[in-house]
Amino acid sequence: MKRKFFGTDGVRGPYDGPVINCAFARRLGAAAARFLRARGTGAGATVLLGRDTRFSGPALEQAVAAGLADAGLAPVSLGVLPTPAVSRAVRVQGAALGVVITASHNPATDNGIKFFGPAGTKLTEEEELGIERELEAGGAPPDGAAGALAPATQADAAGDYIAAVSRLLRPACLEGWRIVLDTANGATCATSPAVLRALGAAVIGLGDAPDGQNINAGVGSEHPERLAAAVRESGARLGVAHDGDGDRCVLCDETGGILDGDEILTVLAVHALRSATLAKDLLVITEQSNLGVDAAVEAAGGRVLRTPVGDRQVSERLLAEGGRLGGESSGHIICAEVSPTGDGLVAALKVIEVMLATGCPLSELRRVLRRFPQRSATLPVKEKPPLESLPALQAAMRGVQAELGAGGRILVRYSGTEPKIRLLVEGADAPQVQACLDRLAAAVREDLPGE
């Protein structure tokens, strides 16, 4: 059975649209609670809810809480809190479930709902299917305005997260460091600067004035241009950018050069291999990552495993293999000895730890990755029919792969959270790679006219 509502990272869409609205959120909360109750969770079990800074967050949070209470569970609000901090709170407080109201890197007009199990991990696809079955069977919520139940506020989760993450590095180790921090006008506006300042850094803030409408608006990990400019202008040691809910990290070296998730993962993996601390000598990445990551890690004596796109896929593979490091080129970095889910702040601190240990600037550390030429494109689509049903695209994919041969690859997939199709081509020759990408894009436009 294919999931109808859940994508690669929860349920997501325009606020007050056909899915992300308060009535649906209440039904979804009740369905999740019934699913848990059917699996043995007792009445009155605690569910922790966090959210980012979108204007729609409070209403959706209350709606989900009302649904959870409809089915006998006890919702507790953590307020505005990064996704990894909610994951930690679920683990530390022994909650039955965690819920985050966020659309991550999407604009403020979107929102979403994602769930974490008692171990602080995202629910599996099978568990999400179970919730969808309950959703279909559940019918309408009780009478009364959706979201009428305002959950109680629990204020200590942010402080606990700040204290725990601050302990990853030695006290005052960042004295004399100037760091530019872009918090995307999102959920990390209070937590990330508090940690960096607690470690002694002078923090220059960007995207740190959320107003409900400006989350990810020209700032954050999707828009690192201002970060790079600020690093150059201020003479900072590095720059750090998060997305709206704080589970991603993009870095900027002291010259203004941007590092994505592939470079961050390669820096961390190669350093750990050289110091014999990489668990199972293993790095887990997704099919989206550059082939240069494999080459660098294997040259250092490690091994690489790839999964489908999605940090949940990475987390599940790490757990199965006994690994501790993995992530995505988008900046979802999982350091499993700290957290089972992506944490942008933890990723930044881990790179800083390498800088402190080696005495090397980030511009030097990043040289460990030599990228294969890679080009990508994202195109809007109205519908998402099976890729194998698209004749022009299938013909183009066969032709491109034959042209690239064994030294190249292509990746074509629909976004799991937006009405888009994503294309990637990688090979030895940059002009050839671009030409192949153009052929794929033309085929998509032939088969799938956009808006």
Q: Strands 282-286, 325-327: parallel, antiparallel or unpaired by DSSP? A: parallel
Q: How far is CA 315 from CA 123, 307, 340, 422, in A?
A: 11, 10, 6, 22
Q: 329: which residues sit within 8 A by CB, 6+ positions away?
A: 260, 261, 262, 285, 286, 288, 289, 290
In the beta sheet, which residues pair with residue 152? Answer: 76
56 catalytic per annotation: no
Task: Report d(CA 48, CA 123) in Å as an integer.
Answer: 15
Q: How far is CA 158 from the centre of its chain?
A: 19
What are the b/e assignments for 324-363, b being 16+ CB within 10 Å? bbbbbbbbbbbbbebbbbbbbbbbbbbbbbbbeeeeeebe
Q: How far is CA 294 from CA 19, 297, 305, 373, 450, in A?
A: 39, 5, 9, 14, 35
Q: Where do we find the tokens 């292509």?
A: 410
Burial class, 270, CB count within 10 angstroms (exposed 0-12 / middle 13-18 / buried 19+): buried
What are the b/e assignments for 68-93, b being 16+ CB within 10 Å? bbbbbbbbbbbbbbbbbbbbbbbbeb
DSSP symbol at 329: T
Q: 277: which residues sit within 8 A by CB, 6+ positions away?
A: none
Exactly one of 56, 87, 104, 192 is catalytic; which is it?
104
Neighbours of 224 (CB within 10 A): 24
Helix ranges, 216-310 (H): 225-234, 261-274, 291-299
On whether the CB atoms of residues 268 and 325 are closer than 8 A, the answer is yes
**In terms of Cα–Cα distance, which of 371, 363, 384 is closest to 426?**
371
**In terms of Cα–Cα distance, which of 136, 142, 30 is closest to 75?**
30
Tell me the catalytic residues: 104
